[in-house]
Amino acid sequence: MKKEKIKILIIDDDPKVSWLLSEGLSDYEFVSARDGSEGIQMVTTEKPDLVLLDIKMPGISGLEVLERLSRLPSRPEIIMLSGHGETDNIAKSKHLGAAEFIHKPFEVKEIEIRVQAVLEAKKLREEVRELKSQLKSRNQYEQFIGDSPKMMQVKSIIEQVAGSELTVLIRGESGTGKEIVARMLHNMSTRADEPFTKVNCAAIPRDLLEAELFGYEKGAFTGAHKTKPGRFEVANKGSIFLDEIGDMPLELQSKLLQVLEQQEFVRVGGIHNIHVDVRIICATNKNLEEAIRRGGFRDDLFYRLNEITVFLPPLRSRTEDISLLVNHFLKKYGDLYQKPTMALSPETMSKLLQFAWPGNVRQLENLIKQVVVRGDESIVTEMLSNLIHSPEYVQTPDLPPSGGSPAVLSESGNVFSLKHRVGAAIANEERRLISEVLTKTNWNRRKAADLLEISYRSLLYKIKEYNLNSIK
Ligand SMILES: Nc1ncnc2c1ncn2[C@@H]1O[C@H](COP(=O)(O)OP(=O)(O)OP(=O)(O)O)[C@@H](O)[C@H]1O
Ligand SMILES: [Mg+2]
């Protein structure tokens, strides 16, 4: 281990100890305190890497100093020094977290060896902790599938902001993975070992939501028999995930804004401010800008929540991820139901690639789960055709055999949009007719354009748009 500027605090009433060590061990920086109270103070002001602590001192004893230092959130390594090495003191010191116990009189060399060993062990522990946290991040990614450019962008934002204290707003349609992202942001942060609390603002009746989030005092309302802390208090030092934030009632939005600005709030029926240290992560599939225009969402809260936005793209806009997700779910449910991992045929996979997935990854996951449970991929065709004929689904023109763009929902996400449905039907008919005329004219594009009574250029454009292909 490199002995560069390691700072050691000696707490001993005997000045000889400090003199001996600083003379004998020139590679370390020594500071010293003559009694326990001075020593405790110097731990905070000097921030030493290690403390050599005498047990028998006037005033506070070494064991008491050790006990007080153990209450600090983080403290340096401590080696006890004593001429009175009864087994009782050794046991107590170990129990209170001392790393070593050295008998007086000691050899300077012995101190050097023990100090090195203690600091090396500390460094190893830190390395293990760091590796564990890296492993945790990697495990997070193993559950978060997608390497399309859009998802790579999402992952890079997550990596950049996970360690920060910034409030994150996660947006995206239902089933795109907003909750997974919220959990990843917590698990990859320094708060990972502290609580992660999820509150679904849409699922809790509005008159109960305030008490749920901020807690209540005994007698605050009928049924409040005893004081109860809210989710913000439970999440202290950790993260709170406010899901469906777009459904939070206006009156609560101002209270939330106060927590965001001052990290303080008052319980329902309470008078005292409660201070919390909580990181806030929110998610919504609602159009918050629209809600602001309608007066249903505070714009100041929106700007405060929106410090960082992670936008999860719909599955239909990143079809490259579908086969990865399919294989991930085949393995996940194969393992869960103790069945051999299935592989889908290229024909089935191509059907999955061409579907619009209005329910996004959740819908794909449910479908694959059923394939695994029933051990039969042929149900994909049956289920997709049921879904396509359901009113929630809007399809673009028939897909050419060679592939083409996947079916899409209306841009606004409104599946009943008349404009979009009619547009899709017209496009469907247009594609069919052009394809028929091209076959009839043996792919003579000029003849086909004449017959269709459109310009040659528009025909070329439409052939490209509909991905029509002369090779069948
Ligand atoms: N990228 C992904 N990799 C693996 N699984 C995913 C991914 N995205 C979503 N899922 C899975 O899809 C399901 C839905 O994800 P999640 O609950 O996070 O969606 P959501 O965006 O919160 O949806 P909602 O708005 O309906 O609450 C979960 O089972 C989740 O594990
Ligand atoms: Mg969700």
Give me the pLDDT at residue 391, please: 61
* Residues 232-255: tens digit of each pLDDT: 999 999 999 999 999 999 999 999
Q: How far apart are the CA of 314 and the centre of ligand 1, in A? A: 11
Q: Is the confidence at residue 217, as pLDDT, over 50?
A: yes
Atom of ligand 1 nearest to the CA of 170: 21
- Start-end ranges of CATH 3.40.50.2300 in the chain? 7-125
Closest CA to 357 of 395, 311, 301, 308: 395
- Start-end ranges of CATH 3.40.50.300 in the chain? 145-313
Residue nearest ligand 1's atom 10 by CA: 177
Residue nearest ligand 1's atom 28 by CA: 362
Q: Which residues pair with 103 in a beta bridge?
A: 82
Q: Which CATH class is domain 7-125?
A: alpha beta
Residue nearest ligand 1's atom 7 by CA: 177
Q: How far apart are the CA of 174 and the centre of ligand 1, in A? A: 8
Give me the pLDDT at residue 439, please: 85
Q: Which residues contact 407 (CB under 8 A, 6 or more apart)?
A: 316, 354, 355, 356, 393, 394, 395, 396, 399
Query: CA–CA separation, 358 vs 384, rounded Å?
Result: 12
Does domain 396-472 fall under CATH 1.10.10.60? My reply is yes
If one residue of 158, 176, 360 were mutated to test the ligand 1 pocket, choosing by the most ligand atoms within 8 A of its CB, it would be 176
- The pTM (predicted TM-score) of the whole model is 0.62
Q: Which residues contact 470 (CB under 8 A, 6 or more apart)?
A: 438, 443
Tell how strand 29-33 and strand 7-11 pair up.
parallel
How high is the mean pLDDT of the chain?
86
Grade residue 398 by pLDDT with cuts at 50, 70 and 90: very low
Q: How far apart are the CA of 176 and the centre of ligand 1, in A? A: 5
If one residue of 145, 150, 180, 310 were mutated to test the ligand 1 pocket, choosing by the most ligand atoms within 8 A of its CB, it would be 180
Q: Is the confidence at residue 406, as pLDDT, over 80?
A: no
Q: How far apart are the CA of 173 and the centre of ligand 2, in A? A: 9
Give me the pLDDT at residue 360, please: 94
Give me the pLDDT at residue 70, please: 85
- Burial class from Cβ neighbours inside 10 Å (0-12, 13-18, 19+) for residue 422 reads exposed
- Start-end ranges of CATH 1.10.8.60 in the chain? 315-393
Mean pLDDT of 80-102: 84
Give me the pLDDT at residue 458, please: 85
Give me the pLDDT at residue 471, please: 53
Ligand 1, pocket residues at CB < 6 Å = 143-146, 172, 174-180, 285, 361-362, 365
Side-chain half-sphere CA neighbours of 415 within 13 A: 14
Give the whole-number percent of the chain exceeding pLDDT 70: 89
Give me the pLDDT at residue 412, please: 42
Q: How far apart are the CA of 363 and the centre of ligand 1, in A? A: 9
Give me the pLDDT at residue 86, please: 66
The CATH code of the domain at 315-393 is 1.10.8.60
Atom of ligand 1 nearest to the CA of 182: 18
Closest CA to 445 of 427, 465, 463, 425: 463
The CATH code of the domain at 145-313 is 3.40.50.300
If one residue of 362, 365, 367 were mutated to test the ligand 1 pocket, choosing by the most ligand atoms within 8 A of its CB, it would be 362
Mean pLDDT of 436-450: 89
69, 40 Cβ separation under 8 angstroms: yes
Q: How far apart are the CA of 211 and the centre of ligand 1, in A? A: 28
- Burial class from Cβ neighbours inside 10 Å (0-12, 13-18, 19+) for residue 370 reads middle
* Residues 370-381: tens digit of each pLDDT: 999 999 999 998
Give me the pLDDT at residue 423, please: 61
Atom of ligand 1 nearest to the CA of 179: 18
Q: How far apart are the CA of 174 and the centre of ligand 2, in A? A: 7
- Start-end ranges of CATH 1.10.10.60 in the chain? 396-472
Query: CA–CA separation, 36 vs 51, rounded Å?
Result: 12
438, 470 Cβ separation under 8 angstroms: yes
Grade residue 392 by pLDDT with cuts at 50, 70 and 90: low
Query: CA–CA separation, 430 vs 425, rounded Å?
Result: 9
Give the whole-number percent of the chain exceeding pLDDT 90: 55
Q: Is the confidence at residue 472, as pLDDT, over 50?
A: no
* Residues 138-152: tens digit of each pLDDT: 677 778 999 999 999
Atom of ligand 1 nearest to the CA of 144: 3
Residue nearest ligand 1's atom 30 by CA: 177
